[in-house]
Structure formats: C-alpha cells, structure tokens
Structure 1
Amino acid sequence: MVTHVVVIGAGVYGAAVAAGLTRRGARVTVVDAGAPAGGTSGATFSWTNSCGKQPRAYHELSVAGMAAHRRLAAEATQDGWYHESGNLEWADGDVAGARLRAKVAGVLDYGYEARWLDRAEVLRLEPGMAQAELPPDGVAYFPREGWIDLPRLVGYLLATAVSGGAEVVRDDAVTGLETTAAEVRAVRLASGRRLPVAAVVNCAGPQAARVAELAGLVLPMRNTRGVLVQTSPAPVAVSRVVHAPRVHLRPDGDGRLLLHSPEIDGAARVADDGGFQVAPSAVERVVEAAVALYPGVRAASVRDVRVGERPIPDDGLPVLGRAAALANFHFAVSHSGATLCVHAGDLVAAEVLGEDRSEELAPFRFDRFNRYGGAGTGHNS
C-alpha cells in the first residue's frame, strides 16, 4: 500500500482527497502556500449544480457530486455547509430565452429535476422579490441545486483528515518535485523541508499548471477571475440561489448575501501590492441590481469584495486521476469544485491507493491533452 501521500493544496479538493486517503489508512501531508481555503475556495459562488453541463459524463459526475454532498451532510457529526435550497433562473431577450429553454430541455432529457414557474409561484418561494422584476412566466426552477459554505466544508474535511493522522502544513509553498524513473520521489518546500513520498496529488487549483510543470508536465489552463460582493446582514428573506439577468445572488449565512454578475468579473485589476482591486462603480451596479430585485437589500452595506481565480482546464472539463507519464502523480483540478469535490476527491483518493476507478475517471484524465498537442512531458532529476 502507498505509505505517504503529499496533497498539494488545502482547498476543497485537497481537503476532500486528504479525508478520503486517511479514511483508507494512508499517511497524508497536506501542504499549501497560504491558509486552508484561503484561495479560490474562499472566494467562489459555490453553486452546486449540473445545469447544462456537457458532455454527458461531466453531467453524471456532477450529479454524483451533488449526491455525495447529501450523504456527507447526513452522516457528518457536524454540518452547516450544505444548503440544497434550489435555484431560480430566468432570461431577458429572445436569444437568452432560447438558450435557457434549450438548457432546461436538455437536463430534463437526462432525468434531472427542473420545472417552469410563473410569477406567482416564484413569489410564493421568494416573497421578498419585487414583482415588477419578474417575467409573468418562464422562470426555470431546479429544486435539487443549492450552495455550499466552502470554508466550513474545508474545515470539516481537514479536521477529519487530521483525526486520521494527517499533517497540514500552511504558508509553505512547493518549490520542487524530485522525479526519477518516471516517479515522484520527494516534494521540496520553500521552508527547506523535503518530504519523501509514495504519491503526490495536485490539488493546487489556479496554481495547478505551475505544480504540474515542476513534475515536467504541461497542464493547459485558462483560468478566469471572479468577483463577489458580500453584504452585511440584510432584513430580506432570500432562501435560494437566484440567477436573474442582471445579478446572481444567494444567502451567505447569518443574514448576509453574496452577489455576483459576469459584468463585474472584468472590473478586477491587479493592484500595486499584487492583490486585486475592483472599481467601486462596478460594485455599486451589482448592488443596485440586487436592490431592484430584492428591495430589502437597500438596508445592507457592502461588507467585503472578494476576487478569486477560477481554475479552468483548457477544455473546460475536470482533470482527475493519475498521469500516465508519472504513475504516482495524480490530479484533482477543475472548475465547479464546489459541486464535484467530495465525490471526485474520493475517487482520486481511491485510485491513489490502488483501487480501480478507471470507469469513472477515464473521461477526465490528464493524458487527453496529448491528443491535441496541449501537453508534453519531461522529468526533473
């Protein structure tokens, strides 16, 4: 059996993989350049769904991910991260409306739960909405979708791993991977620490390509930025994820709301200190759209503006499981990590320890990029 596994990244994937490994008896070290959940996992809309995902294998993986969240929340000794409250979506204009109708038809064909609501039905679910902002009908409702409090989930999964003997190393970036004979032998950290390994799992999110490069692998990524606005507690009842034409929003615990719009993502700029800054006017537009939809939001203030980097492999699909060129180097990297992490992370953990997960992981292996010239290999000695 594999004796020591280093998991690179302490976000949702790293935490889920570590929990799956320790549950199976492995010795695990989780390493992160920052704090657990301090990257994308702490700055994401974290909508759980399989709404229009293609191809079919990706849809099925996402549905299995949603089911894994339900099971974990039911079995856990403590929870509070999982909110299967449903998702409402509608569109403006003929083109956007046609896209939404096609999406609903597609998921219904897959057996996914969805139905159409009229204005009165929506207001019974969300009485705090302004009636004038809603169309008379044509609102899509996906009742099994919801959202995840990812920092809380990461904390639970890492605590589970630590109780199984895992070590969590924070604020210590991976600076090198020692490879010989087509295997990774050790992980080197910025602190000077050297960790001999039997296997490595790359859960580094937006930094996954850099980590892969240390192993001589080229992982093509097209990461994007996402901007989220968190409000102070607001005297308004928002119970569900809402995708309206001008604003996306959801509850964020303790009366707070999380707001997003694709428009605001482009407003993030790199500041002089290397962090991100967002133009106040862009934030104001998103808040105004939220107030128009839920007038009670007017009493809230902006508590935080978060900028996260979404890790998106070049073809948009997850990268999961072992790499053929380095048999003990594994990936758990994707967009939609909130939906996939518990299920996909456990599949990867199982494969690391020798269980056959070929059927589930075959569509998502790193080696698919070689087929269109998107990756190459080489080794560091």
Structure 2
Amino acid sequence: MVAHVVVIGAGVYGAAVAASLTRRGARVTVVDAGAPGGGTSGATFSWTNSCGKQPRSYHDFNVTGMEAHRRLAADVPHSDWYHETGNLEWAATDADRDELSRKVAAVLDYGYEARWLSRAEALDLEPDLDPAALPDDGIAYFPREGWVEPTRLIGHLLSTAVAAGAEVVRDDAVTDLEVAAGAVRAVRLASGRRLPVDAVVDCAGPQAARIAELAGLALPMRNTRGVLVYTSPVAVAVARVVHAPHVHLRPDGGGRLLLHTPEVDDAARVSDTGEISVDPSAVDEVVEASRALYPGIGAAPVESVRVGERPIPSDGLPVLGRVVELPNFHFAVSHSGATLSLHAGDLVAAEALGEDRGDALAPFRFERAATVR
C-alpha cells in the first residue's frame, strides 16, 4: 500500500518535504490555511548561511543545507531562485568588532570560508557603496553565503510534487487531528474535509505549536516578528547580502532591494482585530540607513512593508523528525528555514516513510525541545 502523508504548511519546509515524499513514492496532500508561500516564507530575509551558528552540530547541519541548495540549483535547468554571491559584514563599535572577530575566527576553525577585506577590496565587490560608510579594513566576507527567493523555490518544489501526484489544498486550515491507539488517524480541515493518514508532518512554521497541541503535544516556541522593507526598483548595483551596522540588505529581483534591521523589529504592532502595522518612522529609519550606505538609492519610494513571524523553538535549534510517543507525527520546524529546508525536509520525509535518519536528526528531536520551558 502506498503511504498517504499529510503535510501541514506550504512554505519552504512543507514544499521541500512534499517534493521529497513524492520522489520516494508516497501519496501526499499538502494543506495550508492560506496560499503557498503566503506565511513566513513570503516575508523573510532568506539569507543562506552558517555564520556564527552554534553548537557545532547545528553549524554543520546548516553547511549541509547550503550544499543542498547548490545541488538543486545545479540540477534544475533555468533555476533562478538561488543566489550564492556572498555576504559582507562589518561593525561600528569596539565591542561589535570584537564579536565579529570572534565569529570569523570560529568559522575559520570549522573550515568555513571567510576572509577579511579592506575598504578597497569591498568596493571592488560592491562599487556603489559609499566609501565613507566603510571602515578602512576589518570587513568580513563570506563568499559561499547568499540568499534564496523563497516563493520561486516553493513554486518549483510544489510543481514537482504535483507532477508526481501530490494534491495541494489551500485556504483550508487544519482544525483537528484524530488520534487513537498511539497514532494520528486523520486530519480534519475547516471545510469539513477529513483526510485519513498514515503519517503527518507539521511544517506549520509559527503555527507549529498549535498543530502539535491538536495531537496532544506541547511544543515550546519563542516566535519573534521581523519587519522587512521592500523598495521600488533602484538604479543601484547591489549583488550581495550586506550586513552593515544599522541596516541589512540584499537584492530582491527586478532592481528592488530588501531592507531589514533588528533595531526596528519591535515597531510592528498588532491591533485588537489582528491587523499588523508598522510605525512609519521605523520604516523611514531603515530607508535612511540604506541611503547612507548606497547614496544612489536616492528618493526611491518604499514599495511594501511586510512583517514576518519567525518560528523559533525555545532553545533556538530546529525540531525535526518523528515523535516517540506518537510515531507517525513528525516535525519540520526551525528558524533558518531558508537555509535548512531542502536538507532537513529530505531527512524528515525519509523518516516519515520509515527510513532510519536517527544519526542526522538526533540533536534536533522533539523530546529535547519538549523539556525546555
């Protein structure tokens, strides 16, 4: 009998799990309360990296995730969602410079590619940067890092899964999980539809704890919000991820830039009706910091502002794979989903179909997370 797996969530994790499941011959239904890529995956900086991530097992896991992106981009003709153009980072204060030095030393010790650049070398890479915004030296460069365009990646993965027989159900939230005799037996949707299952994979991102609760599981999370500012097309050549002291930015296609800084994440407000808004002065702060960095941005208007909710398990590490007390229920939940989704999603899919992925997933089990409060 072909196993029927319901994947809850159609972001980068759900799409990656679905594509891997169908490649292994499973019958797959992907369900989402909204549109594919319409949640966190559609409002993320999507920086692919393993820069400063600890402990070592998590660093190595992210490096393998980066390698999975390279393989997929190389294997798919005309793939256009993966951009491995590097990341520049520098600091403004002595304390932050010391921290950056420690981070570079640590990743070099792990064999991760990094080097120090002078101002002139950085300008060779990013000639439209204002030289006055750069220090004389001490600019860290991580050449194997980059970013993904999540919705394009999701589109490829889901189309691959659908071509192999998967069904994608959108705008239909999961309302209940039927659990009996130590297993999930069916998934119920808001539309009234009932989906009998052999296995369930919780890829619901910020809503992962709610889905887990329907199965009688307590998943501790500490989600945070991130404010992302998207410019209109600008006549500025930006090719890389740039982490400057007061703004982080990267290209976002069509000449647009994506801007972010943790300094204004707290500017997001949720009304009594659930509407999310951002203080306009916070948006102006991010834009002004980017103009100081790239003067050519000029008076280009903001095209949109999005607020993403980052799904972060309590100790910051991923929660992946099967649950001991409910062995046909599986998690694929983490921060850094843009980096990890292909690799982690493949491991989780394999385990959902009975393959042994114990060694690879051991540091990221639910049982470890469930003890954290």
Q: TM-score, normalised by structure 1?
A: 0.97
Cα distance change, pair 2–51 in 1 and its aligned pair in 2 (3 A): farther
1:227 and 2:243 matched: no
User: 1:268 touches 1:278 (CA, 8 Å); kept in 2?
Assistant: yes
Residue deviations 1:42-92 (CA, integer Å, cap 9, x gap): 000000000000011110110000000000011113411000010000011
Gaps of 5+ in 1: 375-381
What is the 5 A alignment of 1:340-359?
340-359=340-359
Q: Is 1:41 matched with 2:48?
A: no
Q: Distance in 1 between matches of 2:354 and 2:194?
A: 25
Using the alignment, how far apart are the partners of 1:236 and 1:312 within structure 2?
34
| Length, aligned pairs only | 373
Q: Does 1:314 align with 2:314?
A: yes
Equivalent residues in 2 for 1:48-63, closer than 5 Å? 48-63=48-63
Work out whether residues 81 and 152 of structure 1, in 8 Å CA contact, stay in contact via their aligned partners in 2: yes
Note the 1:176-215 alignment, pairs <5 A: 176-215=176-215
Deviates more, 1:292-301 or 1:104-113: 292-301
Partner of residue 250, structure 1? 250
Deviation of 1:139 after TM superposition, in Å, equals: 0.3
- More displaced stretch, 352-361 vs 13-22: 352-361
Give 3-state SS (helix, strand or coil) of 1:91's partner: coil
Q: Quick check: 1:83–1:148 contact (8 Å CA) kept in 2?
A: yes
CA apart distance, 1:299: 3.9
Q: CA deviation at 1:301?
A: 1.1
Contact kept in structure 2, 1:319 and 1:334, CA below 8 Å:
yes
Letter in 2 for 1:164: A
Percent of aligned positions that are identical: 75
Letter of the aligned partner of 1:95 in structure 2? A
**2:161 aligned residue:** 161
Q: Report the residue type matching 2:184 in the other structure.
A: V
Q: Any residues of structure 2 matched to 1:5-84 within 5 Å, and which?
A: 5-84=5-84
SS for the counterpart of 2:36 is coil
Measure how far apart 1:115 and its partner are.
Answer: 0.2
Distance 1:9 1:209 in 2: 13
CA deviations over 1:324-368 (Å, ceiling 9, x no partner)? 010000000000000000110001001111111111000000011
CA contact (8 A) 1:14 1:30 kept: yes
Q: Distance in 2 between matches of 1:369 and 1:312?
A: 11
In structure 2, what is the equivalent of residue 379 of structure 1?
Answer: none
- Measured in 1, the distance between the counterparts of 2:113 and 2:369 equals 33
Maintained 8 Å contact 1:235/1:299: no
Q: Distance in 1 between matches of 2:164 and 2:92?
A: 51
Distance 2:251 2:221 in 1: 30
Alignment partner of 1:282 is 2:282: yes
Question: Which amino acid is the alignment partner of residue 216 of structure 2?
Answer: G
Secondary structure of 1:339's counterpart equals: helix
**Counterpart of 1:266 in 2: which secondary structure?**
helix
Structure 1, residues 220-246: CA drift from partner, whole Å, max 9, x if none?
000000000000000000010000001
Q: CA deviation at 1:275?
A: 2.1
One-letter code of the match for 2:325? A
CA-CA distance at 1:192 after TM superposition: 0.3
Following superposition, the deviation at residue 300 of structure 1 comes to 1.6
1:298 aligns with 2:324: no
Would the alpha carbon gap of residues 282 and 371 (structure 1) be closer, same or farther in structure 2, given more than 3 Å must change? closer
1:20 partner amino acid: S
Query: Could you say which residue in structure 2 is the equivalent of 1:172?
Result: 172
> What TM-score do the two structures reach when normalised by structure 2?
0.99
AA aligned opposite 1:80: D
Q: Distance in 2 between matches of 1:356 and 1:2?
A: 18
